[in-house]
Chain A
Amino acid sequence: MNRYDTIYDVMVIGAGFAGMAATLFAAERGLKVAQTGATGGIDFSTGFLDLMAVHPVAEGRYWDSPWDAIDAVIAEHPGHPYARLGKDRIRTAMNDFTSFLQSQKLEYMGHEDRNTPILTPAGTVKRTYRIPRTAWKGTEALRDKAPTLIVDFNGLKGFSGRQIVEMQHKEWPRLKAVRVDFPGSFGELYPEHMAWTLSSPDRCKELADSIAEHAKDVEYIGFPAVLGLNDPVRTVTLLEELTGKHVFEIPTLPPSITGPRLRATFDRGLAPKGVCTFSQKMVLEARRDEDGLFSFLIGVPGDARTVRAKNAILASGRFFGKGLRAERTGVVEPVFGIPVTQPEQRADWHHPHFFDKQGHAINMSGIEVNDSQQPLDAAGKVLHDNLYAAGAIQAHHDWMRMKCGAGIAIATAYRAVEVITEKNGE
């Protein structure tokens, strides 16, 4: 039977955090899973897993405890996706997700009950819940304001050690930067190519030698996140041995390596679990037969095939992920035509100031779901009893401002799979 003839238990639409999480959880529960989706959110990710950090956004208030922040946000926004999940489930979902990554050599760190401050490539500090092990030492350096060297490279644009130092110099006087040539290259550099280069121990040695002089008086060395692709911990450990210092990574601007690392980890880890990935294919059309089976037309117009599944999880994201489409007359959900809760007119979508702390009203738009993560129609009724939605496509949150993107994606995906599994068991 080829992959187009199989009838899958679940079709996951989307290959971002929510799509990957849904696929993973479903496959781990023994369901036959198909997944579609193009390069998306996860490829542009810093690798940090945000749970919940800011509420209310208008005040820009950071929370140390994401769990307290979740309580607070639910109290004010009862429609927030977290309100339908329960903290225990969110915790389990996050742990299952990171355990899988750990099993694939992408180890995550973090405190059980609090967010951890960490540097961004702009030199700002953000708080997040789970951090790749390769970036973790950076949180210690930041916490202790330890003597630290940031290394950047001639040819890697958009990453300036000096910028980070300037942004931090008031609080962190013992932070300094150095710019060096990247081993074996000159001219313009791209993170993916750099990561391949640094998979070689010889290149790491060259790199360590080139910064040795500058690193004499520091305890930590921070690099842009280009330290290896498939097994970055090995590269970081090697650099620590070579330099005798603590080494950490700072994410870079897209195209970064932190996102592709996550993506590659899933590509590697999901296939052995029997997942059928229709890579880079988009769902053009969805049909539901009388017996409740979904038929999806996937591919590109003119070259599309049909895939059938008993259940579907819509994890297609927002505008960039193409889960929501902004038209001049309003926002629509293009695959199933699910009604989208949104401001009345386009003039109300965005705040006149981009950085206004209120955020933009359009970001609270999305589709409505019930406690089982099933999308609702305009009358508030379940649209299809075998359709679920996970991740940022749900309404009533602003993941960019509340810093809850990964958390919502992972926990809603977990819940959707849970409901599907329960139903299967009946």
Chain B
Amino acid sequence: MADILLLRRTARTSWYRWAMHTLIFIGFTGLLVFHALDDIISYPFISGYESTLDPWQWLRNLFGGMALAGVCLAVARRLGNRQLKAISRPQDWLLLGIVGGIMLSGFLLEATKIISPNVFDRMTESYFLPEEETDVPALQAYWSARNGVIFSPPASTDADLVAKGEELSANNCNYCHSDTASAFLSRALSTAISPAAQTLNTTHADEYFWYLHIVLALLALALMPYGKFLHPVATPANLAARGGSHTATPPLASAAARKLGLEACTRCGECSLHCSVAPAHAAIGNANILPSEKLVSLRKYADDGLSDHDADAFAEGSRICTECLRCTEICPSGINLQELWLSSKESLKQRELDGPNTTIRQCNALQWAEVLSAQGKSRFEQIKGNGLADKAESFWGCVQCTTCTSVCPVVAVSEAPAKDLDLTPQQIMNLLRMGLKDQTLAARMVWSCTTCYKCQEHCPQNIQVADILFELRQIATERLKERKLTACPLPAATSGRFSDTTRDIQGQGSDSEGGKA
């Protein structure tokens, strides 16, 4: 419950986001409950409720102000963070625009009503029975002086008249109207727009704003089932459904839970900001590498709506994901992203859309070395130039202490690293030092690395072990992609000991075609 009501998970990402979100959440919910639904909730349940009475009038301004401030913060956040700006989609802006528009039109509506003599006239005609001739001018004088109505020509400012108007107002209006001053934002706005009062009043601007306000609100309602607009409902539901679990839960989520997770995304972008392979997005440009964007594709994929091209991009994004769990841990909506990725990867695999990760495991690293080195550098490598793996300086510092391997969780969970992983992280560094880059490209270690960065963080010599492993995976992928290889072209090897080398182990064999490396 703390997660839902206090947005506790949001607070973990940043205070800025929490403040922004809380403002919108509280403001919007407040308005929704007693203002938008006043016919259903406020009138029946609150005795003496009048939208123009305090505290409601004041609260409406407060909530509206909060929500508007929150929207402003959200817009500033999206514009201020370059990475976030890049992944913001029209629907993100649409939601902010609509919410902001509802608030703004509401305030404008209220402000134009405050200054409107037409509204004043309508009210006095309906609810005021003048007893004397000066009663109406007195009331006008008072409302103009006290409550900001702008008459044309201007109402009298005679003190006696105002005093009389105050008395009349107290007897006739105050049952239903608090001072407009308590509508602090609208009143301030009305002061701000007063120079244009003449025009606004003659054109009945308040009516236009009323339509705008209502139309926007209805639009929001109509969009509710779609995408992000559902998140105010789906997110709490998802959090509740996951029962407070903050991380990936091992039990397989049901299809419904998955669907709920998909809908709960608020597209806040935090997952993408925290994604451990985000640098790959910068390098490759495939938006599907970022969790928030991959989720969009996943939603389409789930509905079978991906074109071949998009499916490839989605598969690449899925492949590059290292299942490091960071997105799942950070997600303010508590979406079990990890589970979504795992199940979608599985599904891609079944449909043979998952690309190199499966392909690469069809043959051993040595066979792939043969295939991939025959091909030579891909265009991707040529354009990018020498990477970390090509530069001797990257490994100069290695003192062979094996710490990288020792702390590696992938090695730790492997029962038999030699067989399951081909090479350990440190062995890969040594192969690269020996100039045997092609031999490392298909090593299972490279493809099983979770980029948790423990190796890199523990290296006493500051060698970028994890970055290098990641680069190798990219290089192999690009080479496969260039040759459109979706399967290992060699028969899977069942080689015995030493049999893949050209020399005879016993005796002095004469097959010497091997030569040197």
Contact = CB atoms under 8 A, between A and B. Distances in A.
Q: In the complex, A touching B, CB below 8 Å?
A: yes
Interface in B418-434: 418-419, 424
Contacts of A378: none
A186 interface: yes
Interface stretch (A108-116, A133-141, A190-198): A190-198
A241 to B, nearest CB: 27
Interface in B281-338: none
A186 B402 contact: no
B406 A187 contact: no
B412 A190 contact: yes
Interface string B392-414: 00000001011101110001101
A294 interface: no
Interface string A16-45: 000000000000000000000011100110
Question: Which residue among A193, A196, A300 has the maximum number of chain B CB atoms within 10 Å of its CB?
Answer: A193
A143 to B, nearest CB: 32
A186 B415 contact: yes
Interface stretch (B10-18, B216-224, B250-258, B454-462): B454-462
B500 to A, nearest CB: 20
B416 interface: yes
6 contacts: A40-B460, A190-B405, A255-B403, A279-B457, A280-B457, A280-B458
A191 B405 CA distance: 11
A187 B412 contact: no
A411 interface: no
Contacts of B405: 190, 255
Contacts of B415: 185-187
B232 interface: no
B137 interface: no
Nearest to B408: A190
A291 to B, nearest CB: 33
Interface in B197-214: none
A255 B408 CA distance: 12
A188 interface: yes
Contacts of B459: 38-39
Interface of B: 399, 401-403, 405-407, 411-412, 414-419, 424, 457-460, 462
A224 B460 CA distance: 24
Given A39-B459, A192-B407, A192-B412, A44 B417 contact: no
A59 to B, nearest CB: 31
Interface of A: 38-40, 43-44, 185-188, 190-193, 196, 254-255, 279-280, 282, 300, 320
A38 B401 contact: no
A196 B401 contact: no
A254 B406 CA distance: 9
Contacts of A186: 415-416
B413 to A, nearest CB: 9
User: 8 tightest CB-CB pairs across the interface, nearest first?
Assistant: A187-B416, A255-B406, A39-B460, A193-B412, A190-B406, A255-B403, A192-B406, A255-B402
A225 B424 CA distance: 22
Given A39-B460, A44-B401, A185-B415, 13 more contacts: A39-B403, A43-B403, A43-B460, A187-B419, A188-B417, A190-B406, A190-B412, A192-B407, A192-B412, A254-B402, A254-B403, A255-B405, A282-B462
A191 B460 contact: no
Contact of A190 (B399, B411, B419): B411
B399 to A, nearest CB: 8
Contacts of A191: 406
Nearest to B401: A254
B416 A196 contact: no
Nearest to A196: B412
Contact of B401 (A185, A187, A192, A255): A255
A186 B416 CA distance: 6
B419 A300 contact: no
Contacts of A44: 401
B83 to A, nearest CB: 17
Contacts of A38: 459-460, 462
A186 B414 CA distance: 10
Nearest to B404: A255
Nearest to A253: B402
A268 B506 CA distance: 55
B50 to A, nearest CB: 49
A365 to B, nearest CB: 20
Nearest to B426: A255
A282 B460 CA distance: 11
B452 to A, nearest CB: 14
Contacts of A196: 412
Nearest to A38: B460
A187 B460 contact: no
Nearest to A44: B401
Contact of A193 (B399, B403, B411, B418): B411
Contacts of B414: 187
A196 B409 CA distance: 11
A159 B411 CA distance: 20
Contacts of B417: 187-188
Contacts of A300: 462
B463 to A, nearest CB: 11
B402 to A, nearest CB: 5
A282 B397 CA distance: 15
Contacts of B399: 320
A192 B404 CA distance: 11
Nearest to A279: B457
A252 to B, nearest CB: 11
A254 B399 CA distance: 11
Contacts of A40: 460
A30 B124 CA distance: 74
B462 A188 contact: no
A184 to B, nearest CB: 8
Question: Which residue among A40, A190, A254, A282 has the maximum number of chain B CB atoms within 10 Å of its CB?
Answer: A190
A48 to B, nearest CB: 19
A320 B399 CA distance: 9
A400 B459 CA distance: 23
B453 to A, nearest CB: 10
A193 B412 CA distance: 6
A182 to B, nearest CB: 11
Contacts of A43: 403, 458, 460
A325 to B, nearest CB: 13
A36 B475 CA distance: 35
Nearest to B457: A280
